[in-house]
Protein backbone atom coordinates (compact mmCIF):
# COMPACT_ATOMS: atom_id res chain seq x y z
CA UNK A 1 0.00 0.00 0.00
CA UNK A 2 2.88 2.33 0.68
CA UNK A 3 4.19 1.74 -2.81
CA UNK A 4 0.96 2.81 -4.28
CA UNK A 5 0.99 6.12 -2.49
CA UNK A 6 4.51 6.80 -3.59
CA UNK A 7 3.69 6.06 -7.18
CA UNK A 8 0.71 8.33 -7.15
CA UNK A 9 2.70 11.20 -5.74
CA UNK A 10 5.46 10.61 -8.27
CA UNK A 11 2.98 10.78 -11.14
CA UNK A 12 1.56 14.14 -10.14
CA UNK A 13 3.57 16.90 -11.74
CA UNK A 14 4.85 19.49 -9.39
CA UNK A 15 3.78 23.03 -9.87
CA UNK A 16 6.34 25.26 -11.38
CA UNK A 17 6.12 28.93 -10.37
CA UNK A 18 5.04 31.07 -13.27
CA UNK A 19 7.30 33.81 -14.43
CA UNK A 20 6.04 37.22 -13.40
CA UNK A 21 4.67 39.19 -16.30
CA UNK A 22 6.80 42.16 -17.02
CA UNK A 23 4.95 45.45 -16.76
CA UNK A 24 5.44 47.66 -19.71
CA UNK A 25 6.44 51.19 -18.89
CA UNK A 26 5.23 53.90 -21.21
CA UNK A 27 7.88 56.34 -22.22
CA UNK A 28 7.81 59.62 -20.35
CA UNK A 29 6.97 61.56 -23.52
CA UNK A 30 3.80 59.53 -24.09
CA UNK A 31 2.68 59.99 -20.47
CA UNK A 32 3.28 63.75 -20.60
CA UNK A 33 1.47 64.00 -23.94
CA UNK A 34 -1.58 62.30 -22.42
CA UNK A 35 -1.65 64.78 -19.53
CA UNK A 36 -1.24 67.73 -21.88
CA UNK A 37 -4.12 66.54 -24.06
CA UNK A 38 -6.27 66.05 -20.97
CA UNK A 39 -5.57 69.59 -19.81
CA UNK A 40 -6.23 71.02 -23.28
CA UNK A 41 -9.60 69.23 -23.46
CA UNK A 42 -10.57 70.36 -19.93
CA UNK A 43 -9.56 73.97 -20.64
CA UNK A 44 -11.47 73.94 -23.95
CA UNK A 45 -14.54 72.64 -22.14
CA UNK A 46 -14.35 75.49 -19.62
CA UNK A 47 -14.02 78.07 -22.40
CA UNK A 48 -17.01 76.59 -24.26
CA UNK A 49 -19.05 76.57 -21.05
CA UNK A 50 -18.19 80.21 -20.30
CA UNK A 51 -18.90 81.42 -23.83
CA UNK A 52 -22.19 79.57 -24.20
CA UNK A 53 -23.56 80.31 -20.72
CA UNK A 54 -26.20 83.05 -20.87
CA UNK A 55 -25.35 86.44 -19.50
CA UNK A 56 -27.68 89.41 -19.43
CA UNK A 57 -26.63 93.04 -19.43
CA UNK A 58 -28.93 95.84 -18.32
CA UNK A 59 -28.84 99.57 -19.00
CA UNK A 60 -31.00 102.53 -17.99
CA UNK A 61 -32.32 104.09 -21.21
CA UNK A 62 -34.02 107.39 -20.39
CA UNK A 63 -36.17 109.00 -17.74
CA UNK A 64 -39.83 109.80 -18.31
CA UNK A 65 -39.85 112.09 -15.25
CA UNK A 66 -36.66 113.80 -14.03
CA UNK A 67 -38.14 114.20 -10.53
CA UNK A 68 -38.75 110.47 -10.10
CA UNK A 69 -35.89 108.05 -10.76
CA UNK A 70 -38.39 105.18 -10.79
CA UNK A 71 -39.76 106.48 -14.08
CA UNK A 72 -36.56 105.45 -15.87
CA UNK A 73 -36.78 102.96 -18.70
CA UNK A 74 -34.39 99.97 -18.62
CA UNK A 75 -33.39 97.59 -21.39
CA UNK A 76 -31.87 94.14 -21.12
CA UNK A 77 -29.62 92.43 -23.70
CA UNK A 78 -28.75 88.74 -24.07
CA UNK A 79 -24.93 88.65 -24.24
CA UNK A 80 -24.77 84.84 -24.37
CA UNK A 81 -24.92 82.76 -27.55
CA UNK A 82 -27.78 80.53 -26.41
CA UNK A 83 -31.34 81.83 -26.81
CA UNK A 84 -33.35 82.47 -23.65
CA UNK A 85 -37.04 81.63 -23.32
CA UNK A 86 -39.92 82.33 -20.93
CA UNK A 87 -38.55 85.54 -19.43
CA UNK A 88 -40.22 86.90 -16.29
CA UNK A 89 -39.36 90.16 -14.52
CA UNK A 90 -39.81 91.27 -10.89
CA UNK A 91 -39.22 94.93 -10.07
CA UNK A 92 -38.74 95.88 -6.41
CA UNK A 93 -38.33 99.45 -5.18
CA UNK A 94 -37.65 100.91 -1.74
CA UNK A 95 -37.69 104.66 -1.19
CA UNK A 96 -38.34 107.65 1.04
CA UNK A 97 -40.80 110.19 -0.34
CA UNK A 98 -41.60 113.77 0.69
CA UNK A 99 -45.16 115.01 0.78
CA UNK A 100 -46.12 118.56 1.80
CA UNK A 101 -42.77 119.17 3.51
CA UNK A 102 -43.07 116.10 5.75
CA UNK A 103 -40.63 113.31 5.21
CA UNK A 104 -42.19 109.86 5.15
CA UNK A 105 -39.97 106.93 5.91
CA UNK A 106 -40.50 103.35 6.87
CA UNK A 107 -41.97 100.61 4.79
CA UNK A 108 -42.39 102.49 1.55
CA UNK A 109 -41.70 99.98 -1.14
CA UNK A 110 -43.27 98.08 -3.91
CA UNK A 111 -42.77 94.88 -5.81
CA UNK A 112 -44.37 94.08 -9.14
CA UNK A 113 -44.18 90.78 -11.04
CA UNK A 114 -44.40 90.53 -14.80
CA UNK A 115 -44.65 86.77 -15.46
CA UNK A 116 -44.02 85.57 -19.02
CA UNK A 117 -42.84 89.03 -19.99
CA UNK A 118 -41.24 87.74 -23.19
CA UNK A 119 -41.26 84.36 -24.91
CA UNK A 120 -37.75 84.55 -26.41
CA UNK A 121 -34.55 86.63 -26.30
CA UNK A 122 -31.79 85.70 -28.74
CA UNK A 123 -28.12 86.69 -28.95
CA UNK A 124 -27.51 90.47 -28.83
CA UNK A 125 -31.26 91.25 -28.93
CA UNK A 126 -32.60 93.90 -26.60
CA UNK A 127 -35.89 94.21 -24.68
CA UNK A 128 -37.32 97.16 -22.77
CA UNK A 129 -38.36 96.26 -19.23
CA UNK A 130 -41.62 97.44 -17.61
CA UNK A 131 -39.98 98.55 -14.32
CA UNK A 132 -40.52 102.26 -15.03
CA UNK A 133 -44.16 101.87 -13.89
CA UNK A 134 -43.12 100.50 -10.50
CA UNK A 135 -43.61 103.60 -8.29
CA UNK A 136 -46.17 106.35 -8.63
CA UNK A 137 -45.00 109.35 -6.59
CA UNK A 138 -47.81 111.69 -7.69
CA UNK A 139 -45.32 114.51 -8.19
CA UNK A 140 -43.69 114.16 -4.76
CA UNK A 141 -39.88 114.07 -4.79
CA UNK A 142 -38.05 110.89 -3.83
CA UNK A 143 -34.89 111.06 -1.69
CA UNK A 144 -31.49 109.92 -2.94
CA UNK A 145 -30.65 106.45 -1.67
CA UNK A 146 -33.73 104.81 -3.14
CA UNK A 147 -33.08 101.27 -4.35
CA UNK A 148 -34.36 99.34 -7.32
CA UNK A 149 -33.98 95.59 -7.73
CA UNK A 150 -34.68 93.92 -11.05
CA UNK A 151 -34.86 90.14 -11.08
CA UNK A 152 -35.07 88.45 -14.47
CA UNK A 153 -35.87 84.74 -14.56
CA UNK A 154 -35.42 82.77 -17.78
CA UNK A 155 -34.97 79.31 -19.25
CA UNK A 156 -32.09 78.28 -21.46
CA UNK A 157 -33.19 76.75 -24.77
CA UNK A 158 -36.59 76.02 -23.20
CA UNK A 159 -35.15 73.52 -20.70
CA UNK A 160 -37.36 72.93 -17.63
CA UNK A 161 -34.84 74.59 -15.26
CA UNK A 162 -35.07 78.37 -14.89
CA UNK A 163 -32.21 80.64 -13.89
CA UNK A 164 -32.54 84.05 -12.18
CA UNK A 165 -30.25 87.01 -12.65
CA UNK A 166 -30.56 89.96 -10.27
CA UNK A 167 -29.57 93.59 -10.86
CA UNK A 168 -29.52 96.16 -8.04
CA UNK A 169 -29.47 99.94 -8.46
CA UNK A 170 -29.08 102.89 -6.10
CA UNK A 171 -30.50 106.37 -6.81
CA UNK A 172 -27.82 109.06 -6.57
CA UNK A 173 -28.23 112.80 -6.99
CA UNK A 174 -26.29 114.08 -9.98
CA UNK A 175 -24.74 117.49 -10.64
CA UNK A 176 -28.06 118.43 -12.26
CA UNK A 177 -29.79 117.73 -8.89
CA UNK A 178 -31.76 114.92 -10.51
CA UNK A 179 -31.70 111.29 -9.39
CA UNK A 180 -29.84 108.82 -11.57
CA UNK A 181 -29.50 105.06 -11.14
CA UNK A 182 -26.07 103.61 -10.32
CA UNK A 183 -25.52 99.85 -10.62
CA UNK A 184 -24.44 98.11 -7.39
CA UNK A 185 -23.41 94.52 -6.78
pLDDT for res 45 = 82
Question: Would you say 183 and 148 are in contact if contact means Cβ atoms under 8 Å apart?
Answer: no
Instruction: Quote the pTM value.
Output: 0.69
- How far apart (Å, rounded) are the C-alpha atoms in residues 49 and 33? 24
Average the pLDDT over 67-96 and give the result: 87
Average the pLDDT over 81-92 and give the result: 91
For the chain, the domains span: 55-184
pLDDT for res 139 = 61
Name the residue with higher pLDDT: 7 or 92. Answer: 92
Q: How far apart, in Å, are the Cα atoms of 77 and each of 70, 85, 110, 119, 144?
A: 20, 13, 25, 14, 27
pLDDT at 14 over 60: yes
pLDDT at 168 over 80: yes
pLDDT for res 174 = 87
pLDDT for res 111 = 84
pLDDT for res 57 = 94
Torsion from C-alpha of 94, 95, 99, 105, nearest 10 degrees: 90
pLDDT at 163 over 80: yes
DSSP conformational letter for 134: S
Burial class (CB in 10 A: 0-12, 13-18, 19+), 135: buried
pLDDT digits (tens, 9 = 90+) for 22-80: 566 667 666 667 778 888 888 888 887 777 778 899 998 877 776 677 788 899 999 98
pLDDT digits (tens, 9 = 90+) for 114-156: 998 899 999 999 999 888 765 665 666 777 888 899 999 999 8
pLDDT at 5 over 60: no
pLDDT for res 170 = 93
pLDDT for res 144 = 84
- 55-184 has which CATH code? 2.60.40
Amino acid sequence: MNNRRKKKSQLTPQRVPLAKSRQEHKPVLKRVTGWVWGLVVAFSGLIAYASLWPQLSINPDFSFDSQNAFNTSFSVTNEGLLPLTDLSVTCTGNFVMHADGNQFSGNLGTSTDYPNFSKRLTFKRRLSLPCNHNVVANGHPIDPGATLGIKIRYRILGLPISKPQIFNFLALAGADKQLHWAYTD
